[in-house]
Amino acid sequence: MHPWKSATTTEKYQLGFLVSAFAFNLINLFVFTPMTIEMKHRHKVEREENIGNEIGGSKNQEVAKKNPKLAAMNKKFGMIHGLSSLINLMSFGVLAMHTWYLADTLPDY
């Protein structure tokens, strides 16, 4: 008999959690990582504007008000970074739920 047919509902949920965590990490790897690597262009624009090396407060926002290209890159970077962080949190959440299940199945001593 196939293990899926004999698995309990809880075990099926655990498989769902693990598969979704794997999928979230694949999305992060193959979708958001290449987008983040494209942000090297942002660093090039920052070097051209002589910003990004300051200690403390950044001049990026001030320069972005005058440079629409940098403002668009900042917006895109913020969106990519936010979505990547959200995907990481979702992966962390389902793995935390799986860890909770594993801890609950430990024998009591």
Per-residue pLDDT of 76-102, as tens digits, reads 989 999 999 999 999 999 999 999 999
Give the residue with greater pLDDT, 104 vs 61: 104
Residue 57 pLDDT exceeds 70: no
Residue 37 lies in a domain: yes
Residue 36 lies in a domain: yes
Number of domains in the chain: 1
Beta strand ranges found along 10-63 (DSSP E): none
Residue 65 lies in a domain: yes
Residue 46 lies in a domain: yes
DSSP 53-90: --SSS-SHHHHHHH-HHHHHHHHHHHHHHHHHHHHHHH
Domain with 93, as residue range(s), is 21-50+58-104
Res 30: pLDDT? 96
Structure token pair of residue 80: 């990519």
Residue 5 lies in a domain: no
Residue 80 lies in a domain: yes
Length of the chain: 109
Residue 8 lies in a domain: no
Residue 95 lies in a domain: yes
